[in-house]
Amino acid sequence: MHIDYRLSEDWEENLIDLAAADETDLRYCAATGDVILRTDQTDLSAKWGWIPLIDFALALREIEEALAVTEGSETFEFTESDATLQFDRRGDEMTISGSYTAGEITVPFAAFGELVRDFARRLDTDLMAKRPELKLNPTYQDFRLSGLSA
C-alpha cells in the first residue's frame, strides 16, 4: 500500500501567519492538497486539491492508535465533504474503503502503522523545509508529526 500526498500549488499563498497560527488554522488551512492512497489493484486517492493534510496525518495516527488497542472500525470524514474513509481492523489485518469510490485495500495492521508514521514524517519534513516558520509555532510542534519528543 502507498500513502502519499501532493501539496496544492497555491498552498504557499496562504495568508496564515504559520508562526502564530492556532490548532484549527494549522489542521485545516495551513497545508492542503491531494491524498494518494493506493495499491496496484485499488485506488482510494482523494485528488481534490483541498484536503487538509496536517489534519489527515493526525487523524491517521489517531485511527492507528485507537485500533492498536482493539479490533474495530474507525471513520475519517473529509472536511467540507460527505466523503469518508472506513478503517476496519480484524485480527492482524486492516481493511480500508472509501465512500467515494469502489474497492478496498487490505494490509497487515503493523504495516499500516509504519505507513502512517512515514506519511506524517515526510509531510513534516516537507512543510518544515518549505515553511521554516512552523518551527516557531508551539502548537505545530505539539503535533509531533515526526514522532519526536519536543
Q: Where are the domains of the chain?
A: 2-137
Q: Are 45 and 15 in contact (CB under 8 A)?
A: no
| pLDDT for the residue 103 | 96
The series of mean pLDDT values per 10 residues for the chain, 150 residues long, is 92 76 94 96 96 97 96 95 97 98 97 97 94 94 74
Q: What is the pTM of this model?
A: 0.93
Q: Any idea which fold 2-137 has?
A: Secreted effector protein pipB2 fold (3.30.2450)
| pLDDT for the residue 149 | 38
Q: Which three cell numbers stand for residue 118?
A: 512515514
Dihedral sign for Cα atoms in the order 122, 125, 130, 135: positive
| pLDDT for the residue 39 | 97
Distance CA 34, CA 2 (A): 13
First-last CA distance in the chain: 30
Q: What is the DSSP letter of 89?
A: E
